[in-house]
């Protein structure tokens, strides 16, 4: 049993740190992540177990947006996170400075983004829309990192493994269901995008492009877990097959490009022979499938294969239509530089009647330059954090940079990104890497 001789007047235990000195308090940012002293009562132990189970369930269902309350944006994964977060708050363990010394910059950027959107909404839009969007952003970019940064590395590693399993199972469910039902049978029972009219599959994520993003995130995580020795080879291969199949049936060029780019970042950043072998294995499997004339969904051939073969992005799905929206949004920035259009205001101002599929342009037009500056500040914090982790542990830093790279790639193709599926993979990897140099205490029931 761990010794409790380190208990001090502050009520916290000093813990050794092999990387930053003789005590836990010497580690940078350690003051933001202190755990309760031993021993714990029976009730505290039960709460701890419940919290850990809820976190694991939330991460397993992290990509399952279909499992939500009606047509709202509140999923079963969100419910688990809310209850787990409440337990952490009751225990006094919620980490209010999830990014250490950079937390002030993170909060400043977040406040600037929402503040710019608020000004534009109050002057040009419906205030109710701001309250809805701001609550979603608050959950995704403040509450979620506070929860994940308050957990130990072992739990986060298991959570990453379960996230990969959840994505793989989602693809199996989607592909099998598509063999027996079409989009009319799943339109209302599951989700509008579970199966689309042209045969694309969104699986349990509920939208093909978003499902492709989850596959891209999961493939990079799977490579990391294999390199860490956290998953058996046969299980890793089975998961990789399911996830790659999901990439194909989602028929998303952005997903294919993000998955390939993510694996490339993992290989180049992590280095080593094993990483190169993983990359070569993926290339060999894909090349063999194409050379042997493996069947491809019709939607994949229409939306992706032409662009991959010719290099002409105009053949990639709705690329031309999104380009027109980007041109229009860029021109509109001159009028919305200081006071934006407000949340959802771009849809009404656009001659096309749809939001531009670019996070930076939608934030810039609806919140002005202040909101855009806040968003950039937050991304720079995540980038700085990832680079710092890379200096401490090459593989941890590599997976963080990969998650951030995929997130940035999709931020160029998605409007508002407050749904938790976009940030769970990023914050999960950042949190796990942060704990790599912190010794985590074990919870010991009272009397043992």
pLDDT (tens digit, 9 = 90+) per residue, 341-391?
A: 999 999 999 988 889 999 999 999 999 999 999 999 999 999 999 999 998
Q: Specify whether the CB–CB gap between 396 and 117 falls below 8 A.
A: no
Helix (H) or strand (E) holding 210: helix 208-227
What gap in Å lies between CA 421 and CA 205, rounded to an integer? 9
pLDDT at 141 over 90: yes
Mean pLDDT to the nearest integer, 41-60:
92
| Model confidence, pTM | 0.86
Least confident of 145-159, 258-272, 368-382, 400-414: 258-272
If one compares 31 and 127, the residue with the highest pLDDT of the two is 127
Give the C-alpha separation, 167 to 233, whole Å: 18
Phi-psi category of residue 74: left, alpha or beta, with phi > 0 → left and psi -120 to 50 → alpha: beta
Residues 6+ apart with CB under 8 A from 417: 140, 359, 410, 411, 423
Task: Say which range, 59-68, 112-121, 257-266, 272-281, has the weakest mean pLDDT.
Answer: 272-281
Across 346-379, b (16+ Cβ under 10 Å) vs e yields: bbebbeeeebbbbbbbbbbbbbbbbbbbbbebbb
| Phi/psi at 64 (5° precision) | -90, 75
Count of residues in the chain = 448
Separation CA 333–CA 393 (nearest Å): 41
Query: How far is it, in rounded angstroms, from Cα 49 to Cα 94?
Result: 16
CA 340 vs CA 43, 118, 356: distances in Å: 50, 9, 14
Structure tokens at 32: 């933001």
Q: Quote the pLDDT of residue 36.
A: 46
Q: Record the tokens describing residue 446, joined without a space.
A: 């009272």
Is the pLDDT reported for residue 290 higher than 70?
no
pLDDT at 24: 32
Provide the CB-side half-sphere exposure for 376 (13 A, CA): 9
What confidence score (pLDDT) does residue 316 get?
58
CA distance 217 to 226: 15
Secondary structure (3-state) at 419: coil
Q: Where are the domains of the chain?
A: 100-149+318-438, 151-315
In angstroms, the CA 280 to CA 274 distance is: 10
Average pLDDT across the chain, whole number: 84
Provide the token pair at 308: 């991959």
Please tell me which residue, 259 or 38, carries the higher pLDDT value. 259
């Amino acid at each position: 049993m761990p010794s409790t001789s380190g208990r001090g007047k502050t009520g916290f235990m000093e813990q050794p740190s092999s990387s930053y000195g003789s005590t836990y308090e010497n580690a940078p940012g350690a003051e933001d992540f202190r755990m309760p002293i031993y021993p714990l009562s029976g009730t505290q132990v039960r709460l701890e177990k419940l919290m850990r189970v809820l976190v694991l369930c939330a991460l397993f269902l992290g990509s399952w947006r279909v499992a939500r309350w009606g047509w709202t944006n509140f999923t079963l994964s969100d419910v688990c996170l809310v209850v787990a977060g409440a337990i952490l708050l009751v225990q006094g363990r919620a980490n209010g400075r999830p990014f250490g010394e950079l937390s002030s910059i993170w909060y400043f950027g977040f406040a600037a983004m929402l503040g710019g959107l608020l000004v534009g909404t109050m002057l040009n839009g419906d205030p109710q829309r701001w309250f809805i969007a701001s609550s979603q952003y608050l959950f995704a970019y403040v509450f979620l990192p506070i929860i994940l940064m308050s957990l130990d590395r072992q739990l986060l590693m298991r959570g990453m493994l379960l996230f990969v399993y959840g994505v793989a199972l989602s693809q199996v469910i989607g592909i099998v269901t598509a063999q027996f039902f079409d989009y009319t049978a799943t339109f209302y029972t599951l989700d509008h995008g579970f199966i689309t009219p042209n045969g694309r599959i969104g699986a349990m994520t509920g939208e093909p492009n978003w499902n492709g993003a989850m596959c891209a995130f999961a493939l990079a995580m799977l490579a990391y877990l294999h390199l860490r020795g956290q998953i058996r080879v046969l299980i890793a291969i089975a998961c990789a097959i399911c996830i790659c199949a999901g990439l194909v049936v989602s028929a998303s060029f952005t997903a294919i490009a993000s998955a390939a780019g993510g694996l490339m970042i993992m290989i180049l950043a992590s280095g080593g022979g094993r990483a190169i072998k993983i990359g070569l294995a993926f290339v060999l499997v894909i090349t063999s499938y194409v050379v042997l004339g493996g069947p491809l969904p019709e939607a994949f051939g229409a939306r992706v294969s032409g662009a991959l073969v010719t290099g002409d992005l105009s053949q990639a799905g709705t690329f031309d239509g999104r380009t027109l929206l980007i041109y229009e949004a860029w021109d509109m920035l001159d009028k919305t530089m200081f006071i934006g259009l407000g949340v959802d205001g771009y849809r009404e101002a656009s001659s096309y009647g749809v939001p531009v599929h670019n996070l930076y342009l939608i934030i810039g037009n609806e919140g002005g330059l202040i909101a855009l500056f806040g968003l950039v500040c937050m991304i720079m914090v995540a980038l700085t954090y990832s680079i710092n982790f890379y200096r401490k542990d090459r593989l941890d830093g590599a997976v963080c940079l990969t998650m951030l790279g995929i997130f940035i790639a999709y931020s160029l193709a998605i409007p508002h990104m407050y749904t938790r599926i976009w940030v769970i993979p990023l914050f999960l990897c950042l949190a796990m890497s942060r704990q790599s140099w912190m010794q985590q205490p074990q919870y010991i029931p009272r009397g043992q």
